[in-house]
Amino acid sequence: MLQVRNLHVSIEGQKILRGIDLDVQPGTVHAVMGPNGSGKSTLASVLAGRDGYEIEEGSVTFEGQDLLDMDPEIRAREGVFLAFQYPVEVPGVTTMYFMREAINAVRKHRGQAELSAGEFLKLAREKINPLGMEADMLKRAINEGFSGGEKKRSEIFQMAMLEPKLAVLDETDSGLDIDALKIVADGVNSLRSADRSFVVITHYQRLLNYIVPDYVHVLSDGRIELSGDKNLALELESRGYGWINDEVVPQAAAGV
């Protein structure tokens, strides 16, 4: 589904990613972990097409197409979803209006009929209730006055509405208490399917107790230094990230 090859990215001349390789098969969940400043969020932003990042080298292929060549809205319509670490507020624009425009833009792109107001509302109610939110939320302006937990749940709601093929969750667990974390994880788990993949970016192992990954990658200083299964996350939890830099990197450099 997604192939990242030797991806080098810089921001304003500063190198952030130094050769990322990542293969995501349909139906799999990949966790990308790493210390602050390792390039996790940059990877998420580049996949979604945020402005201001310079791709110096490498390629990203999504379902056989050059992802980097697409505008952000095309990527979204093709099925790439980013759950933002810091969802922005858009005053005066209701979540309902926003989501209806979004879902219809996506449907149009896929050659599907647009949803009527009634159909949209029915779908929205279906998707919002399991997240412990009221349909009233739809009438509020996008993220305006939302608590941290509400913002993250709204992201998951939007993901459920848009039914992406690849969902990138950028530190969705940050700032969540344990109850909210469970709700968000349940939301993600209910969307897991054989043809949908997830890249879960997180600093902490905690989230991975609830969203159990198939693969765990450790990002350090712009490179994936180590990949493994879910047990790698547990090892990181007990040994910390310092272990990667102290042992794994020198060994890799020495060709061990």
Partner 1 sequence: MSSAVEQLEGLTAQEYKYGFVTDIDQETLPPGLTEDTVRFISAKKEEPEWLLDWRLKAFRHWQGMTEPTWPNVSYPKIDYQSISYYAAPKSADDKPKSLDEVDPELLATYEKLGIPLEERAVLAGVAVDAVFDSVSVATTFREKLADAGVIFMSISEAVREHPELVRKYLGSVVPPSDNFFAALNSAVFSDGSFVFIPKGVTCPMELSTYFRINAMNTGQFERTLIVAEDDSYVSYLEGCTAPMRDENQLHAAVVELVALENARIKYSTVQNWYPGDKDGNGGIYNFVTKRGACRGKRSKISWTQVETGSAITWKYPSCILIGDGSVGEFYSVAVTNNHQQADTGTKMIHIGQNTTSTIVSKGISAGVSNNSYRGLVKIMPKAEGARNFSQCDSMLMGDRCGAHTFPYLEVRNKTAQVEHEATTSKIGEDQIFYLNQRGIETEDAVSMIVNGFCKEVFRELPMEFAVEAQKLLGVSLEGSVG
Q: How far is the CB of 237 from partner 1 (least distance, A)?
A: 31
Binding of residue 166 to partner 1 (CB under 8 A): no
Give the bridge partners for 141, in sequence order. Answer: 94
Half-sphere exposure (Cβ direction) of 201: Cα atoms closer than 13 Å? 24
Half-sphere exposure (Cβ direction) of 1: Cα atoms closer than 13 Å? 21
Half-sphere exposure (Cβ direction) of 57: Cα atoms closer than 13 Å? 9
Contacting residue, 13, 14, 52, 242, with partner 1 by CB under 8 A? 52
Binding of residue 11 to partner 1 (CB under 8 A): no
Contacting residue, 87, 132, 175, 228, with partner 1 by CB under 8 A? 87
| Distance, CA of 17 to CA of 222 (rounded, Å) | 4
Binding of residue 90 to partner 1 (CB under 8 A): yes
- The answer to whether the CB of 216 falls within 8 A of the CB of 31 is yes
- The answer to whether the CB of 48 falls within 8 A of the CB of 80 is yes
Binding of residue 113 to partner 1 (CB under 8 A): no
Binding of residue 81 to partner 1 (CB under 8 A): yes
Whole-Å CA distances, 139 to 23, 94, 97: 39, 5, 8
| Distance, CA of 134 to CA of 98 (rounded, Å) | 17
11 Cα distance to chain centroid: 20
Stretch that binds partner 1, among 3-11, 66-74, 120-128, 178-186 (CB under 8 A): 66-74
| Distance, CA of 194 to CA of 199 (rounded, Å) | 15
Half-sphere exposure (Cβ direction) of 135: Cα atoms closer than 13 Å? 8
Contacting residue, 14, 36, 64, 71, with partner 1 by CB under 8 A? 71
Binding of residue 254 to partner 1 (CB under 8 A): no
Looking at the Cβ atoms of 84 and 241, the one nearer to partner 1 is 84
| Distance, CA of 73 to CA of 236 (rounded, Å) | 36
Binding of residue 109 to partner 1 (CB under 8 A): yes
Binding of residue 93 to partner 1 (CB under 8 A): yes
Position 236, amino acid: L
Size of the site for partner 1 (CB under 8 A): 33
Contacting residue, 5, 26, 98, 243, with partner 1 by CB under 8 A? 98
Contacting residue, 13, 14, 64, 92, with partner 1 by CB under 8 A? 92
Binding of residue 204 to partner 1 (CB under 8 A): no
Looking at the Cβ atoms of 152 and 223, the one nearer to partner 1 is 152
| Site of interaction with partner 1 (CB under 8 A) | 48-52, 71-73, 75-77, 81-82, 84, 87-88, 90-93, 97-99, 101-103, 105-106, 109, 141-142, 158, 162
